[in-house]
Amino acid sequence: MSDVVGNPPGDAPGSSLGHVTATRRLLRRLRGIMAGSGSAQERLDRIVRVIAAEMVAEVCSAYVMRAGEVLELFATEGLRPEAVHRTRLRVGEGLVGLIAANARPLALADAQSHPDFAYRPETGEEVYHSLMGVPILRGGRVLGVLVVQNRTPRHYAEDEIEVLQTIAMIVAELVASGELVNPLEMAQSRGGVSLPMRLDGVRLNPGLAVGPAVLYEPKVVIRQVVAEDVAGEQKRLRQAVAAMQQAIDALVDTSHGLGPGEHRDIIETYRMFAADRGWLGRINEAVRSGLTAEAAVQKVRDETRSRMMQVTEPYLRERLFDLEDLANRLQQFLAGQSPGIAAAELPAEFILVAHSMGPAELLDYAHRRIRGLVLEEGSPTAHVAIVARAFDIPVVGRVAEATRRIDGGDIVIVDGDHAQVLIRPSADIQQGVAATVAARTRRRAYYETLRDLPAVTRDGVEVKLLLNAGLLLDLAQLSATGAEGVGLFRTEIPLLTRHAFPDVADQTEFYRRAYEQVEERPIVFRTLDIGGDKVLPYLAHTAEDNPAMGWRAIRIGLDRPAMLRQQLRALLRGAAGRDLFVKFPMIAEIAELEAARALLGKEATRITVEGREPPRSIKIGVMLEVPSLLWQLPALLKRIDFLSIGTNDLAQFLYACDRGNPRLADRYDLLSAPMLALFRDVIAKCHAADTPLSMCGEMAGNPIEAMVLIALGFRTLSVTANAVGPVKAMIRSLDAGALAGYLDEIGERPDHSLRRWLEAYARDHAVAL
Ligand code: PEP
Ligand code: MG
């Protein structure tokens, strides 16, 4: 929470009735000041006096943010009066600057020994030892800092910090009124730069978009912080919570475009947060201490925010954003506003810029004219990213200070492919991007015309194009792309956005829904590939030096057989009456396959014993990802129903080249002699054993790579949804036999890469790449 040094024991935050009464009295006095006469400066002077007296502090000071990120001492009780409007600290300078920079409270019994302590002689503060300070926050912005100091080393308790935070909210209203620092100057402290700028972030959803920025700040002006009628406020809160929950349900029902499935999980988790007793309890407690319902939500929201800044674990951080999103919503309901910016205020097309955003908030905009999204936070597994994917909205996340550097109306380019945001680009860059967007739109329209056409080469080679998926949402892409089925369903992906491991019933329901969505098409489930870069926060896991080569995938499954059995049980139940294709990841030896098969066998027997409907058929496959399998192929192929090459892992182990290391991303080219030789060998052995072979690594989704794979003999490729169109276009323009002949000529060249030869070939033979 806060950096509290040495809390005395037994001082549980917010627990004592005495504390609640004292807080109420203090808030009442402050309300009197706020409603009373006098200038803003006079009221601030009175406020610091009351705080010092009520909180038994020798000093209380208010610092207010001025242009250029400078905190100016605006009022003090206890420090030398001549320091007022003279003492100034930059954000990050001294303890006050530190509080502003981190937007987090700080409480120190011995402030002067803190490395950031900055002594200002004009204040006379050398005699004060302890310090407690909180940021003055409003709408996520730090408007100033409120500090109390004591002469003797004092241990401030958690509930004292909470009280000071509540008071800071009242001061925030005073600062935001624009009477202390004029609004123009406040706006300048947002940076005020108008030059073109490039900001780097993280790719949350690929794609390119350009448009004017709309800053998303869920603005709810809190007009009254302190409540007269506590019971009345509690009732308002209850009603708003109920209304919000109803609205979330309605959002699910009315959100078209997503199809049935994943959004329910997302909104369910979200709804679970909305019913979270801890969260609602803390809001209730704040109402009980005398705040209005809006102010109570704000207080808990600010606390959540400051907690968020401390959490580094991305999954937990994302869940906290859901809470923040809910707080915004609840405030809007309390204020009688409908969530989001009114449609009439939005430009025809726009780029939304937000600090963070919850899935429901994006759903509010998804049907409007949003073209792209820029977030200061977020991760690829964030719910908002998942929803954005479903709507094909490019998103760049973790763009530092986006909301400060981008002003409403600025032209912004969201380049999701390169994880970049361009602000106020020059006219020629804008034109270039607009032309690229238009060309992509045209190309997409062309791919759509291919959707129902077969993937057959000019010389009659039929290719099965399947989809790689990881969420139920992705399955909607089957009909959108015309893919014939799902070649790889990464079952671990839905678990990354959950808060706990699902039980068998949950898993069964999930797989049943997957079957429902694919209709009669085939779907290949891969058992959990957790570990590596896919760590589930709720599953005990120790850090490893080489996680990609560590305890992951089938290794975890076999060491934790109960978990794998539960998944297999759920798959068998979910597949009732359907064909069950199941493949095991990261198999390194036949014994592992046999151990996994034995577990599947036990679960299949159980289905029969329990009298449940079994799958129509069960087909077992193996992912070829670990090179050791290459020398066990004849024996392996006899034992399985299909083999699937996962080049993402296979290549990293073959070349000893970390697939996640950007420095090595272009180091080796799979279009080179060793890979081609490997594929030829695997194809020949699968052919000899009559075992179906497919490829589901990313390689299969690049048209030029797919072109080579088909010429070599691959007939089944499983690719991401946006690769289906381009790969099909390539297939329909290819003469596979002719290219096979050319590969015989160049395939063994010892060059670093054969790519340029192949590009030239495609150009000369009008292959659509
Ligand atoms: C692969 O390794 O190629 C593969 C498809 O599996 P993942 O990318 O999920 O590791
Ligand atoms: Mg893999």
pLDDT tops 90 at residue 551 = yes
Place of tokens 């033979």: 765
Determine if ligand 1 sits within 6 Å of the CB of residue 649.
Answer: yes
pLDDT at 604: 98
Instruction: Return d(Cα 437, Cα 413) in angstroms, integer.
Output: 11
Cα of 380 vs centre of ligand 2, distance in Å, is 18
d(CA 291, CA 279): 16
- Determine contact, residues 87/123, Cβ cutoff 8 Å: yes
- Predicted confidence band of residue 269 (pLDDT cuts 50, 70, 90): low
Dist CA 55 CA 26 (whole Å)? 9
Alpha carbon 666 to chain centroid, angstroms = 27
**Banded pLDDT at 764 (limits 50, 70, 90):** very high
Least confident of 255-259, 442-446, 575-579: 255-259
Return the residue matching tokens 């479903």.
390
Q: Is 102 in the pocket of ligand 1 (CB under 6 A)?
A: no
Q: What is the greatest pairwise CA distance in the chain?
A: 93
Distance CA 460, CA 732 (A): 9
Q: For the residues of 402-446, what is the DSSP string, one character each?
A: HHHH--TT-EEEEETTTTEEEES--HHHHHHHHHHHHHHHHHHHH
Give the pLDDT confidence score for residue 256 in this predicted structure. Answer: 45
Q: Is the pLDDT of residue 438 over 80?
A: yes
How far apart (Å, rounded) are the C-alpha atoms in residues 767 and 705?
A: 12
The per-residue pLDDT for 599 is 98
Direct distance between the N- and C-terminal alpha carbons of the chain, in angstroms, rounded to an integer: 54
Name residue, tokens 């609640």: 20
Alpha carbon separation from 553 to 342, 550, 560 (Å, rounded): 47, 9, 11
Measured from the Cα of 646, ligand 1's closest atom is 3
Tell me which ligand sits closest to the C-alpha of residue 490. Answer: 1
Instruction: Give the pLDDT confidence score for residue 408 in this predicted structure.
Output: 78
- The residues, ordered by sequence, that sit 6+ positions from 599 with a Cβ below 8 Å of its Cβ are 561, 564, 565, 568
**Is the beta carbon of 529 within 6 A of some atom in ligand 1?**
yes
Choose the weakest-confidence range: 179-183, 295-299, 589-593, 626-630: 179-183
Q: If 0-12 CB within 10 Å is exposed, 13-18 middle and 19+ buried, where does residue 313 land?
A: exposed
Output the average pLDDT for the chain: 86
* pLDDT for res 301: 79
What is the position in ligand 1's atom list of the atom closest to the CA of 625? 2
For ligand 1, whether the C-beta of 553 sits within 6 Å is no
Residue 292: left if φ>0, alpha if ψ -120 to 50, beta else—which one?
beta
Question: 327: closest CA among 291, 297, 352?
Answer: 297
Which among 100, 61, 67 is positioned nearest to 81, based on CA atoms?
61
Question: Which of 534, 648, 654, 698 has most ligand 1 atoms within 8 Å of its beta carbon, as the pocket-test mutant?
Answer: 648
Separation between Cα atoms, residue 316 and residue 312, nearest integer Å: 8
Residue 294, φ and ψ in degrees, nearest 5: -60, -45
Residue 193 pLDDT exceeds 70: no
Of the candidates 229, 227, 228, 197, which has an alpha carbon nearest to the alpha carbon of residue 213? 197
Residue 686 pLDDT? 98
Burial 259-277 (b: 16+ CB within 10 A, else e): bebbbebbbebbbebbeee
Ligand 1 centroid–CA 697 distance in Å is: 6
Nearest to 714 by CA among 464, 371, 380: 464
The CA-based dihedral angle spanning residues 552, 554, 556, 559, taken in that order and rounded to the nearest 10 degrees: -150
In the beta sheet, which residues pair with residue 61?
Answer: 76, 147
CA 168, CA 588: separation in Å to the nearest integer? 60
The ligand 1 atom nearest the CA atom of 650: 2
Q: What is the DSSP string of 592-650?
A: HHHHHHHHHHHHHHHHHHTTPPPBSEEEEEEEE-SGGGGGSHHHHHHH-SEEEE-HHHH
What's the Rg (C-alpha) of the chain? 30
pLDDT range class, residue 189, cuts 50, 70, 90: low
Q: In what order do the strands lie in the sheet with 130-138?
A: 3-4, 106-108, 130-138, 141-150, 59-66, 70-77, 88-90
How many angstroms separate the CA atoms of 269 and 246, rounded?
15
Does the Cβ of 548 fall within 6 Å of ligand 1?
A: no
CA distance 664 to 688: 36
Which residue has a Cα nearest atom 3 of ligand 1? 646
CA-490 nearest atom, ligand 1: 9
Residue 7 pLDDT class (50, 70, 90 cuts): very low
Please name the residue that has the structure tokens 């019994």. Answer: 109
Mean pLDDT across 18-35: 82
User: Which atom of ligand 1 is nearest to 645's Cα?
Assistant: 3
How far apart, in whole angstroms, are the C-alpha atoms of residue 203 and residue 384?
13
Nearest atom, ligand 1, residue 698 CA = 3
Task: For a ligand 1 pocket test, name from 486, 524, 625, 654 the mutation site with the most ligand atoms within 8 angstroms of its C-beta.
Answer: 625
Cα distance between residue 284 and residue 307, in whole Å = 19
Residues 393-402 pLDDT 10s: 999 999 988 9
pLDDT of residue 343: 60
Structure tokens, 171: 């001061």
**Dist CA 453 CA 462 (whole Å):** 12
Q: How confident is the model at residue 307 (pLDDT cuts 50, 70, 90)?
A: low
Residue showing tokens 């850090």: 543
Amino acid in position 449: T
Q: Report whether residue 552 contacts ligand 1, using a CB cutoff of 6 Å.
A: no
* Residue among 336, 350, 725, 332 nearest 358 (CA): 332
Q: What is the pLDDT of residue 10?
A: 35
**Is residue 694 lining ligand 1, measured as CB closer than 6 Å?**
no
Cα 654 from Cα 638, distance rounded (Å): 24
Q: How far apart are CA 106 and CA 700, in angstroms?
A: 53
pLDDT of 5 > 50? The answer is no
* Mean pLDDT lowest among 335-344, 382-391, 689-698: 335-344
The label of the residue with tokens 């912004």 reads: 412
Strand partners, 526: 490, 583
Q: Which two tokens stand for residue 221?
A: 């002006």
Burial 631-660 (b: 16+ CB within 10 A, else e): eebeebbeebbbbbbbbebbbbbbbeeebe
The contacts of residue 335 (CB under 8 Å, 6+ apart) are: 220, 221, 294
Please check the confidence at residue 471 and state whether its pLDDT lies above 50.
yes
Q: Which of 471, 486, 649 for mutating ligand 1's site (highest number of atoms within 8 Å of CB)?
A: 649
DSSP string, 238-294: HHHHHHHHHHHHHHHHH--SS-SSHHHHHHHHHHHHHT-HHHHHHHHHHHHTTB-HH
Assess whether pLDDT exceeds 90 at residue 540: no
Residues 6+ apart with CB under 8 A from 391: 257, 258, 362, 366
Confidence at residue 257, expressed as pLDDT on a 0 to 100 scale:
47
pLDDT (average), residues 255-269:
54
Distance CA(568)–CA(601), nearest Å, equals 10
What is residue 254's predicted lDDT score, i.e. its pLDDT? 56
- Is the predicted pLDDT of residue 217 greater than 80, yes or no? no
Is residue 582 over pLDDT 70?
yes
Which pair of structure tokens corresponds to residue 2? Answer: 């806060």
Tokens 């004029």 correspond to 182
pLDDT in the model for residue 602: 98
**H/E element holding 148?**
strand 141-150
> Strand locations in 567-664, DSSP E?
579-584, 617-624, 642-645
Closest CA relative to residue 209, chosen from 507, 32, 511, 422: 422
Q: Which helix (H) or strand (E) holds 67?
A: none
For 49, half-sphere exposure in the C-beta direction (CA atoms, 13 angstrom radius) is: 9
Distance between CA atoms of residues 274 and 268, nearest Å? 9
Distance from chain centroid for Cα 408: 24
pLDDT at 83: 95
Average pLDDT rounded to a whole number, residues 285-291: 90
Please determine, for residue 190, whether its predicted confidence score (pLDDT) is greater than 50: no
Two structure tokens written together for 14: 């917010």
**Which has the higher per-residue pLDDT, 651 or 302?**
651
- What's the whole-number mean pLDDT along residues 54-76? 92
Residue 700 Cα to ligand 2 middle (Å): 14
For ligand 1, say whether the CB of 492 is within 6 Å of any of its atoms. no
Strand pairing class (420-423; 197-200): antiparallel
